[in-house]
Amino acid sequence: MVDQNVHAYRDDALGDFDAVALAEQIRTGAVSRREVVEAAIERTNAVNDRLNAVQMDCFEQARADTERPRGGVFSGVPTFVKDNTDVAGLPTCHGSSAFTPHPAKQNGGPAAQFLSAGFELLGKTTLPEFGLTASTEFADRPPTRNPWNLDYSVGASSGGSAALVAAGAVPIAHANDGGGSIRIPAAVNGLVGLKATRCRMLDQPGVRQLPVNLVAEGVLTRTVRDTAHYFAAAEQYRQNTVLAPIGLVEGPSDRKLRIGVVRRDLYGRLPHPEIAQVTDSAAGMLAGMGHEVSDVSLEFDERLIEDFKLYWSMFAVAMSASFKAHHGRRFRPSELDPFTKGLAHTALGNPLRIVPAVRRLRRATGTYEEQFTDFDVLLTPVLSQPTPLIGEHRPDQPFEKLFATLVDYVGFTPINNVGGGPALALPHGHLASGLPGSVQILARGGDERTLLDLAYQVEAQSPFPRITATAEM
């Protein structure tokens, strides 16, 4: 057992600032861009040997870029981009050893939108192969570990980004979410993670051509205001005019909401008692704050989870075909990890089920919106089980065993990827392991403002767990 807490906080230019405060320090000249970048590099180097969260760095380029500052609300703030997103001059590895990538020629849309806020890029972060599972672990190399306790999973697929933000190496990092991949690592690392409304942000190439677009781009942060300011900045780069703008949500209002508490997953199963206790605590707190809180059950087609599982399996086939087309002999299918191969086999073994499954998934957007007929937001767990130990989700175990474990673990997050609406993971309380607890709040499509407003209220009422306090204990 490794059993230790790892963080990088120290008395340097980064201090204990969130991204908004750090950007203000830079703007006023209290610290220089070079000082901030050097501090972030030192912090990253101090923890990464134990966390294994950096896929590749570009430290020298970051140092050079401090001499050519760019504008933006986060100008000069150091960060990382998840390594399934093209960044000019860096290869995109997608967490896989099955191909040898060339450096990207230009920024992909998500990276361009993210970096437009003025960040200083330090490198790219780890993810499990193609982002297909819920823990950043690998068949052929060491896992990425949770800085709150290195024995535990950091979540996935934005696990590397989460580890570096939670450990204090950087205050904010890029992430994306196709089945919970922003919210899961946020939940197990005590972070704020907003999965935005479908098509709110620029997407990865080809995502919008899929029968059902599950993926949303975003960030992982330690404060609600960092998340709010980031989405406002991203809209300055590109706003989806079909959706009402989020704008800048600067703090809590006194608005009282109708909140439905969802205590069972789509199979009708209760989560682990520790998870239920965290959800109960949050529901009681919200009621005490004056919100109208009542229990509600999700009303979806009972086949939704099975349809999602089949559609998720199709991703393995689609990604393998895409990489073969783009990388030719540099793509080696035999070196894909066993979980990816198992997913592909599942999809290819059920061809007649795929078309009706896709039809039902496409209807789920309307069903999702119906859940808000009597409520402004829904409160749910993020995950059905406490944070697993390293190894429980290792991708080289028998496929059927791992897939069953995954389904039992991820009982609540896929609802929003299928339904398309926004969902926000918020830290709340602790688990018996000492790791942070978390809850999820959902809103109708396009209503991120309500989620951010309520998140500010929660943060003020119940300050988020701090990794430094855990270390001191």
Specify if 9 maps to a domain.
no
pLDDT digits (tens, 9 = 90+) for 185-230: 999 999 999 999 999 999 998 888 889 999 999 999 999 999 999 9
402 in a structural domain? yes
Average pLDDT over residues 161-189: 98
pLDDT at position 2: 45
Question: Distance from first CA to last CA of the chain, Å, rounded?
Answer: 19
Q: For the range 349-354, what are the long-range contacts, defined as Cβ-Cβ under 8 Å and sequence gap of 24 or more?
A: 350/310, 350/313, 353/310, 354/310, 354/311, 354/314
* Preceding omega of 161 cis (within 30 degrees of 0): no
What pLDDT is recorded for position 473?
42
Instruction: Judge whether 344 lies within some domain.
Output: yes
Instruction: Tell me the catalytic residues.
Output: 82, 157, 181
- 89-104 confidence digits (pLDDT tens): 999 999 999 998 999 9
pLDDT at residue number 236: 96
Q: Are 113 and 86 in contact (CB under 8 A)?
A: no
Q: Is the dihedral of CA 213, 217, 223, 228 positive or negative?
A: negative
Q: Per mean pLDDT, which range of 94-108, 128-142, 313-327, 453-467 is the poorest?
A: 313-327
In a domain, 349, yes or no: yes
For 301-336, how does the pLDDT look when each residue is reduced to its tens digit (9 = 90+)? 889 989 999 999 998 998 888 888 888 888 999 999
Q: Number of folded domains in the chain?
A: 1
The mean per-residue pLDDT over the stretch 414-440 comes to 97
| Closest among 448, 17, 333, 382 to 182, alpha carbons compared | 382
Q: Where residue 432 sits, what CATH number does that domain have? A: 3.90.1300.10
pLDDT at 206: 83
**β partners of residue 234:** none
Beta-carbon contacts of 115 under 8 Å, excluding residues fewer than 6 positions away, are 81, 87, 107, 121
Residue 5 lies inside a defined structural domain of this protein: no
pLDDT of residue 302: 84
Phi-psi domain of 191 (left: phi exceeds 0; alpha: psi -120 through 50; beta: other): beta
84-112 per-residue burial string, b: 16 or more CB within 10 A, e: under 16 = bbbbeebbbbbbbebbebeebeebbbbbb
Cα distances (angstroms) measured from residue 435 to each of 40, 152, 339: 24, 9, 27
The per-residue pLDDT for 413 is: 97
Q: Which 3 state secondary structure label does DSSP give 201?
A: coil
Percent of the chain with pLDDT over 90: 91
> Residue 388's domain spans which residues?
19-472
Residue 12 within a domain: no
CA distance 229 to 232: 5
pLDDT tens-place string over residues 371-394: 999 999 999 999 999 999 999 999
Residue 421: per-residue pLDDT:
98
Alpha carbons 394 and 246: distance in angstroms, whole number? 38
Is 4 among the domain residues? no
pLDDT of residue 269: 94
The confidence score (pLDDT) of residue 470 equals 65
Q: Is residue 193 part of a domain?
A: yes
Mean pLDDT, rounded, for 176-189 = 98
Question: Mean of the pLDDT values across residues 57-84?
Answer: 96
Q: Which of 446, 448, 451 is nearest to 242 (CA)?
A: 446
Q: What's the rounded mean pLDDT across residues 98-111?
A: 95
More confident residue, 3 or 26: 26
Residue 26, pLDDT > 60, answer yes
- CB atoms closer than 10 angstroms to residue 349: 10
The answer on pLDDT for 1 being more than 80 is no
Over range 267-284, report the average pLDDT.
97
Q: Predicted confidence band at 69 (pLDDT cuts at 50, 70, 90)? A: confident
Residue 427 clears pLDDT 80, i.e. is over it: yes
